[in-house]
Amino acid sequence: MKTIRTLCFLSLVWTAAFSFSHLQAEPKKEKPSTAPTPLLLESIGTLSAQGVYLTYMSIGALSDGFVAQVYDKEAAQSIMTSYVHLSKICQTQLSKLLKEGNLSSEDKKYIREIEITYGHLINQGQAIIDYIESSDQTHLKTFESNRLEAGKRIEKLIQQN
């Protein structure tokens, strides 16, 4: 009889333990830090430098391909428009990071340089789009001045990484 009572008691305790286990406080989850980590900032810088470099090379290759008649007007305009559009998105995101990010003055300066470089790439790409539409040679001057400035800035950015 004592064994039956002990088993009943243990069964009751066991049932109660599982029945009320959901009422226990859940362990607190740590809130993620709002400050970017050095690894995150280094990654953003490296990927951004790569982004401006590849965009610079792509705009140049497409422009050369158009002049060599590898691409027709429609294809060249369509591809260049996508480069310009993607560059604007990157520039906008970098602007948001500058405004809302918890960044050191050194990080802000580097990101601002990338943002400015995207501006030159956007102007370079838009100049080719405008040239394709109009054949106006003044667009080629705009293209070339932005190409040269973007190239200088990209070289500095890459040397900093």
Could you tell me the pTM of the whole model? 0.77
CB atoms within 10 A of CB 55: 23
Q: Give, as one character, the DSSP assignment of residue 137.
A: T
pLDDT of residue 122: 98
Domain ranges of the chain: 38-160
Residue 90 has pLDDT above 60, yes or no: yes
Q: Once rounded to an integer, what is the mean pLDDT over residues 34-50?
A: 86
Nearest to 54 by CA among 86, 29, 23, 18: 86
| pLDDT at residue 16 is higher than 50 | no
Contacts of 90 (CB under 8 A, 6+ apart): 48, 51, 118
